[in-house]
A and B are shown apart, each in its own frame.
Chain A
Amino acid sequence: MTADAFLFWFLAITTIAGGITVVSVANPIYAALSLAFTMVSVAAVFVTLEAYFVAGVQLIVYAGAVMVLFVMVLMLFDLKHELEAFARGKVSGAIKLLTAGLLGGLLIGAIAYSPEGSKIAVGANQVAVAGDPTKNLGYRLFTQHIFAFEALGVLLLVIAVGAVALSRSKGGTHGQR
Chain B
Amino acid sequence: MGNDIFEITVNSVKLIVVFLLMVQAVPILVWLERRGSAFIQNRFGPNRVGPLGLLQLLADAVKFITKEDFAPDKAIRKLFYAAPVFALIPATLAYAAIPMSLPFIVPAFEMFGSSWGPYKFLVQGYEIGVGIVFILGVSSLAAYTILMAGWGSGSKFSLLGALRASAQVISYELALGLSIVGVILLYGTFSLSDMILAQQGPLQFVAFGYTVTSAVSWIPNWGIFYQPVGFVLFFAAAFAESNRLPFDLAEGEAELVAGFHTEYGGFKMLMFFIGEYGHMMIASGLATTFFFGGYGIPGITPAELQQVILSWGFSEAAAGGLNSLIHFLSYNVKFAIFLWIFIQVRWTLPRFRYDQLMDLGWKTMLPWALANTVVTAIAIYVVTL
CB neighbours (8 Å) of A29 from chain B are 151
A56 interface residue (CB < 8 Å to B): yes
Which chain B positions have C-beta within 8 A of A64?
140, 170, 173
What residue in chain B is nearest A75 (Cβ atoms)?
B163
Given A52-B128, A52-B130, A74-B151, CB of A67 within 8 Å of CB of B137: no
In the bound assembly, the distance between CA atoms of A67 and B151 in angstroms comes to 13
The reply to whether B134 and A67 form a contact with Cβ atoms under 8 Å apart is no
Of the residues B129, B136, B148, B163, contact of A60 by C-beta under 8 Å: B136
Asked whether A74 and B163 contact (CB < 8 A) given A52-B130, A68-B170, A134-B130, the answer is yes
- Would you call B138 an interface residue if the criterion is a C-beta within 8 Å of the partner chain's C-beta atoms? yes
CB-CB under 8 A from B151, the residues of chain A are: 29, 74
A68 to B128, CA, bound (A): 28
* Dominant secondary structure of chain B at its interface with chain A: helix
In the complex, chain A residues 76-134 whose Cβ is within 8 Å of any chain B Cβ:
134
Closest to A68 in B: B170
Query: In the complex, A33→B76 CA distance in Å?
Result: 14
Q: Is the CB of B141 within 8 A of A59?
A: yes
Partner of B166, one of A59, A67, A134: A67
| Residues of chain B within 8 A of A43, CB atoms compared | 137
Decide: B129 and A52 in contact? CB cutoff 8 A. yes
Whole-angstrom CA separation of A64 from B144 in the bound complex:
9
| A61 CB to nearest B CB, Å | 9
Give the Cβ gap from B108 to chain A, nearest Cβ, in Å: 27
Q: A68-B170, A70-B147, A71-B147 are in contact. Are A63 and B137 (CB under 8 A)?
A: yes
Encode contact with B along A20-41: 1 for CB under 8 Å, 0 otherwise.
Answer: 0000000001000100100010
Contact A60-B140, Cβ < 8 Å, known A134-B130, A134-B190: yes
With A and B bound together, what is the CA distance between A55 and B43 in angstroms? 49
Q: Is A14 an interface residue (CB 8 A)?
A: no
Number of inter-chain CB pairs below 8 Å? 65
| B147 cross-chain contacts in A, Cβ below 8 A | 67, 70-71, 74
Check if B177 is an interface residue, CB within 8 A of chain A. yes
Would you give the shortest CB distance from A127 to chain B, in whole angstroms? Answer: 20
A68 to B171, CA, bound (A): 11
Q: Which residues of B contact A70 (CB under 8 A)?
A: 144, 147, 166
Asked if A67 meets B159 with Cβ closer than 8 Å, knowing A55-B137, A56-B130, the reply is no
Whether A71 contacts B163 in the complex (CB less than 8 A), given A53-B133, A56-B130, A64-B173, comes out as: yes
Q: Which of A29, A59, A63 has the most CB of B within 10 A?
A: A59
Min Cβ gap B67→A in Å is 28
Known contacts A53-B190, A56-B137, A74-B151; A67/B163 CB under 8 A: no
Any chain B CB within 8 A of the CB of A160? no
Chain A contact residues, CB within 8 Å of chain B: 29, 33, 36, 40, 43, 52-53, 55-60, 63-64, 67-68, 70-71, 74-75, 134
B residues touching A (Cβ–Cβ < 8 Å)? Answer: 128-130, 133-134, 136-138, 140-141, 143-144, 147-148, 151, 159, 163, 166-167, 170, 173, 177, 190
Known: A36-B141, A59-B138, A63-B137. 15 other contacts (CB 8 A): A29-B151, A33-B144, A52-B128, A53-B133, A53-B190, A57-B137, A60-B133, A63-B141, A64-B173, A67-B143, A67-B147, A68-B170, A71-B166, A71-B170, A74-B163
Interchain Cβ contacts under 8 Å between A and B, 22 examples? A33-B144, A33-B148, A52-B133, A56-B136, A57-B137, A59-B134, A59-B141, A60-B136, A60-B137, A60-B140, A60-B177, A63-B137, A64-B170, A67-B143, A70-B144, A70-B147, A71-B163, A74-B147, A74-B163, A75-B163, A134-B130, A134-B190
